[in-house]
Amino acid sequence: MSAALQLPPLPQLPKAARVWVAFSGGCDSTVLLQLLSQAGLGRRLRAVHVHHGLQAAAADWPAHCRRVCRRLGVPLSLESVTVDRRHPGGTEAAAREARYQALGALMAPGDCLVTAHHRDDQAETLLLRLLRGTGVAGMAGMQPLTAFGPGWLWRPLLDLPRHALREHAHRQGLEWVEDPHNRDPAYARSWLRREVMPRLQQRWPQAAESLARYSRHAAEAKGLLAELAQIDLQIADVAGGLSIRVLRELSAARRNNLLRHWLERAGRLPPPAALLERLERELLAARPDATPRLPHDGAELRRYRDVLYLLPALPPAPKGVDLAWPPRRRELALPAGCGRLQLPRAPTRPLIVRFSAGGEELRPVGSKHRRSLKNLFQEAGIPVWIRQRTPLVYAGKELLAVAGFWRAEKSPEFTWQHELPGVPAELCQPKH
């Protein structure tokens, strides 16, 4: 007879933190919920069932989950989500994203989400990632405890095989539902589970255990790479970006490791190999006076002089805009992303706000000569994407001020509060 299942110790959590069990109603999550219901968590323990509406059979699962939770004395939350069937990663990926988004939305700071992933799930995940050509970080697989949303994600069953959970469920007389998707060969994981894993385990009975052990080795290597990237980041970090000179001095492998770490630390997706190749070709190898940009995961990689920047995608720069400053107003709203202008007192003459079209000149306070704005911006080290969005204040045809930077002798002091998301403040300040 198999030994009784035991969970590893619960992670250290705040006293008021709730423990949420992702409860599908299937065998694995039913076993997990039963074990946790015996762990003395009391009212801190909650179950949550996410209804995807992907199949007719799923309509009966919320009622089943209610019965199980009532029997175990565990409060249940029911959440419904809409799955984007046009998701580029397929229906499985879309359902997973929607599910975790719904689960994270329920959590308060310090809460812990618990899932029933086990050793066979880990083996399937590793094989799928291997077939997709993932790197060391991906082959680290699922970790027992990771940060998630405002709290934590705990997978206490990762060391247990699927058959041990099923045997426990039978011994305890537990009831569960069967997901037809788990038998549908149209889904990659289901096909792998039914067609590939049995044959692997027939030839190598310890296949799942060996894959799980490999994931631990990969996780260790991932940690070492993160430590190396942090060392390199301390050297390359300048002015809110990365030094191009330092990046070029690193080997290609070490440079790519740093870039992956830098982007992930900023909350962006890991860059694919094709993006890293383009980054080296189009940004790192660009002329010093070039201002290339490369989109990635809702952000933009931009270069100015010797620095590589990561910025959120900026709204289009305003062109051909003439904004009249309303009389008796001390403040003027600017086009999207450009913020607002303020004066200590309302203007006494009509003012117009424009944006650079090239060729503008100004004699700044303290200067004996008129200077082109292009030269002023270049000497001050202001990137092109800031110049394009910097408001210019005119009285008739006379340029009075480059808001936030320079003003003519007779111009009042304009305060520019920009709203360029994620743009470091130092980029909007002259670098003399």
DSSP-based three-state secondary structure for 409: coil
Strand order in the sheet with 151-154: 76-80, 45-51, 19-22, 112-114, 151-154, 145-148
H or E, element range at 372: strand 371-372
pLDDT for residue 1: 41
Q: Note whether 152 and 13 are within 8 A (CB).
A: yes
Number of other residues whose CB lies within 10 A of the CB of residue 174:
18
C-alpha angle 245-247-253 in degrees, rounded to nearest 5: 150
What is the pTM (predicted TM-score) of this model?
0.77
How does DSSP assign 12-75, residue by residue? P--TT--EEEE--SSHHHHHHHHHHHTTT-GGGEEEEEEE---SGGGGGHHHHHHHHHHHHT--
Rounded distance, CA 174 to CA 166, Å? 10
pLDDT for residue 99: 92
Pick from 391, 384, 378, 393: nearest CA to 418: 391
pLDDT for residue 428: 61
- Bridge-based pairing of strands 307-312 and 323-324 is unpaired
Residue 172 token pair:
């305890």
pLDDT for residue 312: 85
pLDDT tens digit sequence for 75-103: 999 999 888 777 777 777 888 889 999 99
pLDDT for residue 94: 84
Number of other residues whose CB lies within 10 A of the CB of residue 359:
8
DSSP-based three-state secondary structure for 386: helix
Domain(s) labelled CATH 3.40.50.620 in the chain stretch across 19-212
Helix 162-172 to helix 27-37 angle, to the nearest 10 degrees? 60
Residue 40 token pair:
């003395």
H-only helix segments in 107-152: 119-131, 136-139
Beta bridge partners of 19: 45, 112
Fold of 239-312: Chorismate Mutase Domain, subunit A (1.20.59)
Q: With 0-12 CB in 10 A as exposed, 13-18 as middle and 19+ as buried, what is 425?
A: exposed
Burial pattern 87-122, b for ≥16 Cβ within 10 A else e, equals eeeebbebbeebbbebbbebbeeebbbbbbbbbbbb
Domain(s) labelled CATH 1.20.59.20 in the chain stretch across 239-312
Fold of 19-212: Rossmann fold (3.40.50)
Which parts of the chain have pLDDT scores under 50? 1, 432
Per-residue DSSP letter, 178: -
C-alpha angle 166-170-172 in degrees, rounded to nearest 5: 115
Residue 77 token pair:
């939350």
